[in-house]
Structure 1
Amino acid sequence: MPLYLCCDCGGSKTSAVIVDAAGTVVGRALAGPSNFAYLSLEEFLAAVSTAVSNALKTCTTPASVDPIPLPLTEETFAAAWFGVSGVDSPAAIATITPALGRVLNLPLGPRLVVANDTHLLAAPVRMHKEIVHAVSIIGGTGAIAVSFKEAESGLEELGRVGGWGWILGDEGGGFHVGREAVRQMLVEHDRASVASEPPRHSPLKDNILKAFGVNDVLEVLTEVHVAAAPSTKLDVAPHLLMPREKRLSTLSPLVFDAAFSKRDPFALDVLKICAGLLAEQVLMLLGRRTDSSPRLVDASEAVACFGGSLVAIEGYRNLVLKHLEEKGQVFKYVEVIDDAAAIGARGLAASFEK
C-alpha cells in the first residue's frame, strides 16, 4: 500500500501526516518547532525525524509501541512533501532537500518536494479538477499572499506579496491588528484635541489601557516603547517582560473579542482597516492574464486558500473577501485550511494517484 507523507514545519511545531492512496489519514504526529530560519540543519532534521518516526508508529500492523527507526527503507513512502517556514530561497531548499532524502530514503526529484509552507495551503487546487490556479492567504501573527499554478511538475509559484515580518510589513496579521488598535486610539485622541467632540468610548480602548496598566491613552506610548525588563526582574508588569512586538501582537485577541463578541464599532473599524490592507496585497496577485502580465490570476477561475489563526475567524475572513468583492474580485472557491499537513498529504496522494 503506497503511503504519502506531508510535513508542515513551522515556528511553533512540526506536524507530520501520512495518508494512503485514497487520501485517508493513517498516521500523524507532532514534534517541536522546525522553522528553518531559526534552526541549524541538524536541529531541523531532529524535529522532522521525531514527527515522522512517531507518525509511522500507527501505520504498522500491529501498531508499534516504539518510534520507527530512521533512516527508512526505500519502499516506505511513495512521495513526500515538506512545507517549511523560513525556506524562501533556492539555496535553502538545496540545503534541506538532500538531507531529507537521506533520512527518508527518497531520491531527489518529483517524489520529494521541499517548498515554503505557503505551498501546502494551495493543495486544494488539486481537489478541484476544473481549475489550475490557487491563492494562499495567510493571516496569523504575520501575513502573506502567494499565487500558484498547478503544472505538470507540481505547484508553480506565480507571485508573492508580503511576509516581510513585523518591522517591515505583515499587514493584516496579528501584530498589525494590535498595532493598528493602538494607532487608532491615538488618532482619535489627537483629533479630539482640536475638535469639540471627545473620542468614542470603546470597550476595546478600556481593555487596552487595562492590559498596559495605565489610565490615559498617551501613557500607552511609554508602555509600548520602553525596552524589555530583564527576565529575572520580579516586580514589573508582565507586558514589560515581553519584546516590544509581542506587546502589540498579544492585543489582537482583545480586538477580535471586542469586534465580534461585544460588537464594539471602534474595534470593528480597526479590523476593517487591517483586513482591507491584507486584501490589497491579495489584489496585487489578481487580474486578467495578458501577454504582458502572464502571472496574474483570475479570481473567478481560482481557489482562495485561507490559513492562519486570524483568517480562520469567519468574521475577519469575510471582511477580506468583501473588500476583494468591492474591487471586482470574487473567487470561484474559498477553502479554509485548519490542518495544512493533512490537506497537503491528500493533495500529494491525489496528484500521484490520478
Structure 2
Amino acid sequence: MSFFLCVDCGGSKTAAVITNHDGEIVGRALGGPSNFAYMSAADFQDAIRMAVSNALKTCVSPPATEPLPLPVGPGVFASAWFGISGVDSPAAAHNAASAIAPLINLPLDGPNLTVANDTHLLAAPLRLRHDINHAVTAIAGTGSCVVSFTQDAAGSLVELARTGGWGWILGDEGGGFHVGRETFRLMMHDLANLKEKVLAQFGITGEENAAEVLPVIHIPEPHSASETANVPAYQQVAREKRLSQLSPLVFEAAFKEGDPFALRVLRNCAGALADQVAMLCLTSREDVALKPRGVKPEDAILCFGGSLVGVEDYRELVLDELKKRGCVFRYVEFVEDAAALGAISLAATGKS
C-alpha cells in the first residue's frame, strides 16, 4: 500500500504526518527546525529525513523500533505535500523540492510532489469542501501573514494574493511582536494595571515611567559569550523577541483579568490583522474591476493558524473587526494541526 505524506516545516519544528488511502493517520513524528531560508540545504534535508523516518516507523507491521531509512523505495508514497517556512519564491520552492524528491522517491517536477510556503497548508480545509472555491489563510503567531487561494480544475491550490509576512521591521500586524509594540506605544500615553507587569519584565520598578524602558528595548543583544556576563536575561534576547514575548502578559491581562488597557491593545492589533484580511476580500461595497483577485468572503472559508489566533477570544476580536469591514465568511476554522489536515486532504483528493 502506498501512503500520503504531509510535512509542515517551521522555524521551531518539523511535523510529518502519514495517512493511508482511507485518510486514517498511520504515522506521525516531529523533527528539528526546517525553515528553508535560515539553513543549508543539507541541514534542511536532515530535518526532513529525521521527521519522515520516524513517522514511517508505525506504518509497517509490526511497527519498527528504529527510524526507517530514507530514501524509500518507489511507490511507498502516492503523493506528498510540503509546506515550508522560508519558501517564498518559485526558485526557493524548486531548490527545496530538489532536496526532498530523492528522499521520498517522487519525481521532482511531477504532479504528486507539492512544495510551497507553509501558509498553503492552512488552506487544506478548502480541499475538503465542495460548496466553495476560495479560502483566506491568516497566520498570527510571533509574526503574521495573510494569503488568499482558489482551486484549479484539478483540485490543486492556487495562490491569488498575499499581504504581510514581511517580518517585524516591515509588518507582522496582529502578531506577537505587534502586540508588544502596541503595548508600549499606548503605555506612553496611558496608565494601566498591565503597565507595572510589563515594566517589571525589564527590571523597571517604582515611580519610573515607560520611557525608561526604551533604551532596554532598542539596545542590541550581546554578540559573544563574554558580553553576556552580568547582562540581564531579557537583554540577551533578540530585540524583536523582547516585545513579542510580552504577548502572554497582555493576553492574560485582557482575557483573564479584564484589564481595559490590555483589551484596547488587542483590539487595535486585531483590527490591524483584520485590515490585512480585508485587503484580499471583495465586499459588496467594492468593485470587482478594481480588485480582480478579491475573494468574496460569503463564498469562502477563513482559515486561522498560529498561537495568537489559537486563543478563541482573540479570534473573536478579529472576526468582530472583520464584520465592521463588511467581511463575514461562510466558514471559519482554526487549523491546529496543519500537517494532519494536509495529509487527510491528500488522501481525500487522491492527488497533490
TM range (shorter): over 0.9
- 2:137 match: secondary structure: strand
Aligned to 1:223: 216
Moved more, 82-91 or 179-188: 179-188
* Structure 1 runs (4+) greater than 6 angstroms displaced: none
Contact kept? 2:202, 2:234, Cα under 8 Å = yes
Contact kept? 2:14, 2:30, Cα under 8 Å = yes
Contact kept? 1:72, 1:104, Cα under 8 Å = yes
How many residues matched? 342
Return the letter of the residue paired with 1:270: V
| Offset of residue 353 of structure 1 | 7.2
Q: How does 1:152-191 map to 2 (within 5 A)?
A: 152-153=153-154, 154-188=156-190
| Offset of residue 326 of structure 1 | 1.1
Q: Deviations over 1:8-53 (max 9, x none)?
A: 0000000000011121111000000000000111111110011001
Moved more, 230-239 or 316-325: 230-239
Q: Deviations over 1:162-196 (max 9, x none)?
A: 001001110111011011101110133xxxxxxxx
- 1:33 match: secondary structure: coil
Q: Deviations over 1:263-314 (max 9, x none)?
A: 0000000000001001000001000583553311000000100000000101
| Offset of residue 93 of structure 1 | 1.0
Distance 1:259 1:37, change over 3 A: same
Aligned to 2:94: 94
- 1:81 match: secondary structure: strand
Aligned to 1:192: none
Aligned to 1:113: 114
| Offset of residue 127 of structure 1 | 1.5
Aligned to 2:297: 299
Return the letter of the residue paired with 1:234: A
TM-score by length of 1: 0.94
Gaps of 5+ in 2: none
| Offset of residue 126 of structure 1 | 1.3
- 1:79 match: secondary structure: strand
Decide which of 256, 262, 267 is 1:261's aligned counterpart.
Answer: 256
Decide which of 345, 348, 351 is 1:347's aligned counterpart.
Answer: 345
Gaps of 5+ in 1: 189-199
Alpha-carbon RMSD across the aligned residues, in angstroms, is: 1.5
Aligned to 2:316: 318
Return the letter of the residue paired with 1:277: A
Contact kept? 2:282, 2:288, Cα under 8 Å = no
Return the letter of the residue paired with 1:152: A
| Offset of residue 90 of structure 1 | 0.6
Q: Deviations over 1:293-348 (max 9, x none)?
A: 33110000001000000001011111111111111110100110111100111111
d(CA) in 1 for partners of 2:225, 2:241: 15
Residue 265 (structure 2) pairs with residue 275 (structure 1): no
Contact kept? 2:112, 2:351, Cα under 8 Å = no
- 1:312 match: secondary structure: coil
- 1:63 match: secondary structure: coil
d(CA) in 1 for partners of 2:51, 2:339: 12
Contact kept? 2:79, 2:351, Cα under 8 Å = no
d(CA) in 1 for partners of 2:289, 2:110: 31
Aligned to 2:203: 213
d(CA) in 2 for partners of 1:3, 1:239: 46
Aligned to 2:132: 131
Aligned to 2:334: 336
